[in-house]
């Protein structure tokens, strides 16, 4: 059974940094592209960032480019989202996602989702 468990969310102030982690189990981690999505209150879930299976390529949504960094540790089955210079508009539930076909991850239809971790940014 595949499980993705996010951690690291919380309440921070604008301009602060935060690192989210996602622990994966039940899958061959190095064979899966990994991504982060977010859903703000009253809005649809949106793509944030993704990283290919070996970590050679990364992709970001325009609102987070230059502020967020996705990375992975295939030895530990972990994927991270380093969030710097956070803004109130970054407030959302952040979800980890996985798919062995990277294109499905990029278009927001991954095979597996985590339960999410709440990030709240105060101004």
pLDDT digits (tens, 9 = 90+) for 76-119: 999 999 999 999 999 999 999 999 999 999 899 999 999 999 99
Looking at residue 39, what is its pLDDT?
A: 98
pLDDT tens digits, one per residue of 5-64: 999 999 999 999 999 999 999 999 999 999 999 999 999 999 999 999 999 999 999 999
Q: Residues 34, 108: contact at Cβ < 8 Å?
A: no
Q: Residues 120, 91: contact at Cβ < 8 Å?
A: yes
Q: What is the mean pLDDT of the chain?
A: 97
Looking at residue 49, what is its pLDDT?
A: 97
What is the spatial distance between Cα 87 and Cα 105, in angstroms, rounded to a whole number? Answer: 25
Looking at residue 109, what is its pLDDT?
A: 94
Burial of residue 44 (CB within 10 Å: 0-12, 13-18, 19+) is exposed
Q: Residues 61, 48: contact at Cβ < 8 Å?
A: yes
Looking at residue 8, what is its pLDDT?
A: 97
Looking at residue 86, what is its pLDDT?
A: 98
pLDDT band at residue 3 under the 50/70/90 scheme:
very high
Looking at residue 114, what is its pLDDT?
A: 98
């Amino acid at each position: 059974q595949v499980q993705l468990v996010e951690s690291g969310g919380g309440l921070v102030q604008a301009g602060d940094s935060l690192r989210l982690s996602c622990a994966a189990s039940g899958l061959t981690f190095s064979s899966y592209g990994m991504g982060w999505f977010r859903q703000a209150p009253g809005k649809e879930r949106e793509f944030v960032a993704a990283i290919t299976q070996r970590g050679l390529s990364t992709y970001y949504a325009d609102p987070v480019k230059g502020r967020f960094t996705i990375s992975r540790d295939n030895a530990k089955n972990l994927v991270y989202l380093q969030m710097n210079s956070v803004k109130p508009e970054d407030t959302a539930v952040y979800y980890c996602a996985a798919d062995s076909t990277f294109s499905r991850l990029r278009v927001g239809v991954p095979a597996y989702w985590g339960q999410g971790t709440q990030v709240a940014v105060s101004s």
